Amino acid sequence: MGLLSGLEKFGLEQMDTTNLFEDEKKPKAEQQGQADAPKEEKHLETEFLLLKSIRCPVCDHVFRTRLVKTGRVKRLEPDFDLRPRFAYIDTNKYDVSSCPKCGYTAINRYFSHITSGQVKLIDQGVHSKFKANTLVNAEDALEAYTYEEAIEYCKLALYCTMVKKGSTSEKAYECLKLSWLYRGWREKLESEGTNDRELLSNVKAEEDAYYKQAYEGFMKAIASESFPMCGMEESTVNILLANMAFKLEKYDVSSKLVSAILTSRVASRSVKDRAMTLKEEIIKKLH
């Protein structure tokens, strides 16, 4: 018996319903094209990218790095934990610069902020061993990064931060970026309807593992470092951590951070609003 059986009485013929949803998207798009409603916008990630020359503070090599044209991208509502989201591009993929000659890699905001002592450490610990990756040549082509490439660079940044004995917050931030990259990758795979269950579960496992690292790192950092931290004010770090703690089911920690935000004299309206929303979520979970 077909899904639409019984309609014969209306004079309608039987229809094959075995693949009811298969072509759902396609006819919709065609319909949109036919009506002279605004055409569906299609954008490539490269439209929002530019190449910028920068000098490596370790080996002095000048190279071109891929950056986001910040004026052109359209901001969307961020995730619960402030992961920035934009239309048509995952800007998280372009937060890292990597010198193709010596291997020195860092999140852009830290790239040129390196002490002479740290330059020596990178020289010994990275430059002396580094084999330039000729397959991934960032120099000439303005191509979008795949998630694999972006993750590779972010891991290289974390490696360099460990070698240069960078701050706890910098390492935590890199772990958070990595977790966000894996999240972006997972979402992409899911939206494409991948059949590769193994890849999907590996990506999810990495996303979770880096998330826990980031959480632990930031919890240590707020006890030992001063603000702003990774460009974030205290209340921003607190709302980030409160949301992370919530996701990790550490409701007591989350609740304490929320209280600190709600009683803060300097926290902005929008941060307090987020804290209020989270407070309601915590109450729901505890009941």
Q: Does 157 bind Zn ion (CB under 5 A)?
A: no
Number of Cβ atoms within 10 Å of the Cβ of 154 = 26
Exactly one of 96, 99, 121, 221 binds Zn ion (CB under 5 A); that residue is 99
Question: What is the 3-class SS of the chain, one letter each residue?
Answer: CCCCCCHHHHCCCCCCCCCCCCCCHHHHHHHHHHCCCCCCCCCCHHHHEEEEEEECCCCCCEEEEEEECCCCCCEECCCCCCCCEECCECHHHHCEEECCCCCCEEEHHHHCCCCHHHHHHHHHHHHCCCCCCCCCCCCCCCCCCCHHHHHHHHHHHHHHHHHCCCCHHHHHHHHHHHHHHHHHHHHHHHHCCCCCHHHHHHHHHHHHHHHHHHHHHHHHHHHHCCCCECCECHHHHHHHHHHHHHHCCCHHHHHHHHHHHHCCCCCCHHHHHHHHHHHHHHHHHHC
Stretch in the footprint of Zn ion (CB under 5 A) among 19-27, 81-89, 97-105, 168-176: 97-105
State which residue, 65 or 254, has the beta carbon closest to Zn ion: 65
State which residue, 15 or 132, has the beta carbon closest to Zn ion: 132
Q: How many residues bind Zn ion (CB under 5 A)?
A: 8
Stretch in the footprint of Zn ion (CB under 5 A) among 19-27, 51-59, 142-150, 278-286: 51-59
Q: Does 119 bind Zn ion (CB under 5 A)?
A: no
Q: Does 96 bind Zn ion (CB under 5 A)?
A: no
Q: Does 138 bind Zn ion (CB under 5 A)?
A: no
Within 54-83, which residues bind Zn ion (CB under 5 A)?
56, 58-59, 61
Greatest CA separation found in the chain? 85
Stretch in the footprint of Zn ion (CB under 5 A) among 44-52, 99-107, 110-118, 238-246: 99-107
State which residue, 65 or 236, has the beta carbon closest to Zn ion: 65
State which residue, 99 or 271, has the beta carbon closest to Zn ion: 99
State which residue, 59 or 189, has the beta carbon closest to Zn ion: 59
Write down the least CB distance from residue 137 to Zn ion, Å: 15
Its sign, for the CA torsion 207, 210, 216, 221, is negative
Write down the least CB distance from residue 127 to Zn ion, Å: 7
Stretch in the footprint of Zn ion (CB under 5 A) among 8-16, 88-96, 100-108, 188-196: 100-108
Exactly one of 104, 110, 210, 211 binds Zn ion (CB under 5 A); that residue is 104
Write down the least CB distance from residue 165 to Zn ion, Å: 18
Residues that bind Zn ion (CB under 5 A): 56, 58-59, 61, 99, 101-102, 104
